Structure 1
């Protein structure tokens, strides 16, 4: 395990239905990691448990060296853990600019701060639409806005749940370009997505889960050399 986010033996249930059975996961400072698996295998539940949105039944979650599995979601977020959720969840009746500045914070004081101008420079499409309402944006633009909104909190760790799901190929490439840029700037990221071909070039290490259990963990070179894992656990 390494020092930014450390998840050990995580078990989570919805009522009497157990979903996670001892998940281990780690993201180090400046590292890009992935959580991979087919739909319904526990990826989003893992994220919800890390964020405190779904209470873990057992196991530990450490962030910045502190145990957080019993903390409220708002306290966890204020520590510098930001998520780009599945479905984006931007404010449809606020402008692009308002969506961004509403979340401005300085939760990672050691990093070069993300400002409105810096986010708009990262996403020129958003700069062109800064006065547009959220509901006037395309799906891809909404995803850019959701990423920009998370960056405006200046997080220690950025989590993207279904980073490019449902996006057109050109927009998807723009999201990958953005993540490459963030990695180059030292932003720690945990990515959930299905495009393994891109993720093995982007990420340092990977965790594959099946029915709420970790079935494989390793670095990109090992995953790139094992396409049978893609077929078996991701369906590619």
Structure 2
């Protein structure tokens, strides 16, 4: 099932992805496309295959069948470091900041300007995006709140100057006021033309941010469309998202 969508030049394209763990298949013929500068929301209840799909896209799980292209490169089955070097950065669920590195050390240690262009996400620019991190720049990762760790994880990913930023469970477990800061960050990145794949359960907040939405159910794409179409059919929310 799908709604009318606008065709966008593909930055990332996954076709007919089947994947799983051992004899247990989780994904069944997934097609997914993200355009340059597009924000795509990946939706679905827990256990429907979202995390498995992200593992395929970032190289931590090889697909059983199907292909993944990033730009003109075939990346399906490539190692995570090779995919990261091509410009895919993920902010993983759980953040995974280093407890003994300071905020500033995180941002400087992982910085990787994109070849042929001036650095966009300098330490100073990242502090501008997250002023709270500037206030905590000497603090170690284990001295930050959960919300501050999420900000740091996003800033660390941006310091690599990705062509595609993936946010897995972008606001999971965060206080409402911190969630709003993350939503504001995503809106800012969208306005600046960053391509983003975001997984989150707060559909209402995703509507003004995402250009398109893809819903997974039991490892299959059951609906895709733009925000206007998703907003207009609230039966999708209860049927597939438990909202």
TM bucket, shorter chain? over 0.9
Report the CA distance shift for 1:211/1:111 in structure 2 as closer, same or farther (over 3 A): farther
1:230 positional shift: 0.8
Q: Does 1:158 align with 2:159?
A: no
Match for residue 143 of structure 2? 136
1:72-96, CA deviations, whole angstroms, 9 ceiling, x for partnerless residues?
1111000000000000001011000
RMSD: 1.2
Tell me whether 103-112 or 223-232 shows the greater mean CA deviation: 103-112
1:111 positional shift: 7.4
1:30 positional shift: 0.5
Q: Which of 23, 47, 56 is 1:49 aligned to? A: 56
Match for residue 13 of structure 2? 6
Match for residue 230 of structure 1? 237
Aligned partner of residue 10 in structure 2, secondary structure: coil
Q: Which runs of 5+ in 1 are unaligned?
A: none
Q: Which of 49, 65, 86 is 2:72 aligned to? A: 65
Runs of 4+ in structure 1 off by over 2 angstroms are 107-112
Report the CA distance shift for 1:108/1:220 in structure 2 as closer, same or farther (over 3 A): farther
Return the TM-score normalized by structure 1. 0.97
Q: Please list, as runs of the form range in 1=range in 2, the aligned pairs for 1:86-165 lying within 5 A after superposition.
A: 86-107=93-114, 109-110=116-117, 113-165=120-172
Match for residue 90 of structure 2? 83
Q: Which runs of 5+ in 2 are unaligned?
A: 1-6
1:102-148, CA deviations, whole angstroms, 9 ceiling, x for partnerless residues?
11002365576110000011001100000000000000000000000
Q: How many residues align?
A: 236
Q: Does 1:176 align with 2:166?
A: no
Q: Does 1:204 align with 2:195?
A: no
